Structure 1
Amino acid sequence: MEKPSEMNTLSNIMEKLRLKGLDDEFTLSDHGKLQSPKTQKIYNPDDLTIIKTFRFEGESDPSDSSVLYLMEDAAGNMGYVIDAFGAYSNHEGPAFDDFLKKIPVTDRDEQELFK
């Protein structure tokens, strides 16, 4: 008999990332690129790969929806970006969405990421 999968919340995933030392939240810089606050490294879309996407929905309010993109650079450094989902995005204008669309995507197994 299959064991039911654990329900993940944003705070649950954030804690797992913190415990693995993956608590580098990338931000969109004034130059329209992602930047690591820890290293001050600035990334173009082709410098990163989205390795896992987590979507979270509020129980009753669509404005509670969010998405966490876990990313990795060519050197194996990981960070993430959190955004409200859809029309409720934290970023004005199309720059953030356009940047994300240019990042290659793979889908790593969550258990592999957090083992």
Structure 2
Amino acid sequence: MENNNLKTLSEVLAILKDRGVTKEITMNSQKQMVLGNEEKKYQPADLCIVKSYRFEGDSSADDNAVLYLIEDKEGELSTILDSYGGESNYSGEEFANFLRKVPVQENEKHNID
């Protein structure tokens, strides 16, 4: 069933925060994917994408983003935000190559209604 009640990125982040997901994985200046303030460093095999939320800007194709809900091998949930188009949040291929290698196992329990 398709959900016609579309949410914004900030609304989805707020819902995830209410569910206890408060940390983000980002790429640091050494091109390593790290959790929060470098609490953990990850390789693609350490993670699994359990849900992806897509956002498209109304005014510009440059306002597109995907928010990935990630589960690590210890069961901790966090997010990775991938803005793409003219406003990409990462330059170079390292980020995209990392994401392509992360296994995907979408789980309906992470749906946002």
**Could you state the TM-score of these two structures normalised by the residue count of structure 2?**
0.87
Q: Is 2:87 the partner of 1:97?
A: no
> Unpaired segments of 5 or more residues in structure 2?
none
What does residue 42 of structure 2 align with? Answer: 43
Q: Is 2:25 the partner of 1:30?
A: no
From 106, 110, 113, give the equivalent of 1:113: 110
Matched AA of 1:34: M
Moved more, 87-96 or 71-80: 87-96
**Structure 1 CA distance, aligned partners of 2:85 and 2:71?**
23
The sequence identity of aligned pairs, in percent, is: 34
Aligned length: 112
**Structure 1 CA distance, aligned partners of 2:42 and 2:84?**
22
What does residue 81 of structure 1 align with? Answer: 80
What does residue 15 of structure 1 align with? Answer: 14
Q: Contact between 1:67 and 1:83, CA under 8 Å: does it hold in 2?
A: yes
2:45 is paired with a residue of what secondary structure?
helix
Matched AA of 2:84: F
Q: Contact between 2:51 and 2:111, CA under 8 Å: does it hold in 1?
A: no
Per-residue deviation, 1:69: 0.9
1:54-81 Cα shifts (integer Å, max 9, x gaps): 1100112111111101100111101111
**Could you state the TM-score of these two structures normalised by the residue count of structure 1?**
0.86
Alignment of 1:53-92 (within 5 A): 53-86=52-85, 88-92=87-91
**Structure 1 CA distance, aligned partners of 2:3 and 2:69?**
24
